[in-house]
Structure 1
Amino acid sequence: MSKISIRDNLLRVEENIESALIASGRNKDDITLVGVTKTVDADSINEAISYGIENIGENKVQEIMDKYDKINKNVNWHMIGHLQTNKVKYIIDKVDLIHSLDRMSLAKEINKRAKSESIIKDVLIQVNIAEEVTKFGLKKEEVIPFIESILDFKNIRVKGLMTIAPFSENPEEVRFVFRDLRNLGYEIEKKNYENLEMKYFSMGMTNDYKVAIEEGANIVRIGTAIFGKRVY
């Protein structure tokens, strides 16, 4: 993909974000744009960074490892895909935010590895709002019990929630997913758990991010709309 198309695509995405924010009465500072770089080469990622991308998201640990030393260091890394427990050790000191905490075994491993590095790792809990069998994440009713089971983990800091909506040609059909996640966040906030905050709602991708923003997303994960369609 040429420099101009990445730049133009990024401008278009930023304009759409701004219009969605205006429609919902919010400020531009409310949104973190994560450029999803699955299968994207390091040169293209660095180009996007040069045009203002400050956050990049990877689905696989191996891609983080392969690209980490090739990418401009003035960028925040996000682990947005399913994270295998035995891979945590490779990225614990590299990623700024793990979006996909969804089970106790993973929480224990993140906590252990973060403790060994003398860091506190920020995480989001992944929720499978639509209960799709093909997607990972806790069911909505499992989230609060899960949170309460990890409150004593000193090296994990829960910063919010993440979800992936079912793909739909009409984003209005999945608006309920984003609304339900935000409402779950309100419910959790009311409980005033110590050392836990519902600061981030990571929801919305290329096909549905405008609707997600209207429903309260403040992290959107955009790949195709910036880097073009992937060839797998």
Structure 2
Amino acid sequence: MLRNVSAVSQGLRQMTLSSNLYAAGTEHHVIKRPVNAFILYQQDHIQKLKRENPNLKMTQLTSLISKQWNELPEKSKKPYFENHQSQLEIYRKHMDALPTDEIEVLKKEKTERRFEKKLKKLCREIKALNKDRPTLSNAFALFVQDYMKENTSPGNQAEKMKGCGVAWKNLSDAKKAEYKAKHEKSKEAYLKELSKWESAIEKDGRKQTLEDLKAEFSKVKKAETDYKINGWFN
């Protein structure tokens, strides 16, 4: 208990000292909104848990901390809730002192971040459902595969790709024609595999899920565009 109180007190001192600092990556004079009591507890215990469980992934460590938090007596949780409340009061006072125009800018930035987060989530979900979709490599992609096989020496991947681009540009028309022919030859097999995949996802329900996700993505993207243009949602 003494350790918890000490850690919480330290967190509160840091929050007080940072009340004049600005949130990273923004030009507005705003401190970050304080994290909740559970996150404060996690910050206080994560390093110890890592040392005790070096082979666990972060998701597994988080599950362990969540279990610890849920089983923690209320009297042990109390200092973290009090710390959060103290930080929240500092944050609210700071926000109340901001000019109206800065508050409006912050609201706009928050909304835009929410759009970005939602779109990224939808992209991840769509990508996960498409992970086994057959792919068709174009002529250049086929050349890249051969180029990388021949250039296996250690080096920067970006530099290798740059060299690959130069090599393709300098490739004779006859050689490029060979890769284009390979591409055309593989197209028939690709279309057969694609047809099988489309039948499979229709049977297992993924097709409808994909259509729903794509429709949701288009809806959110349109709302984001409307907001950026007009400053409001349709």
TM-score, L = length of structure 2: 0.22
TM-score, L = length of structure 1: 0.22
Q: Which has the larger radius of gyration?
A: 2
Which has more strand, going by share of residues?
A: 1
Which has more helix, going by share of residues?
A: 2
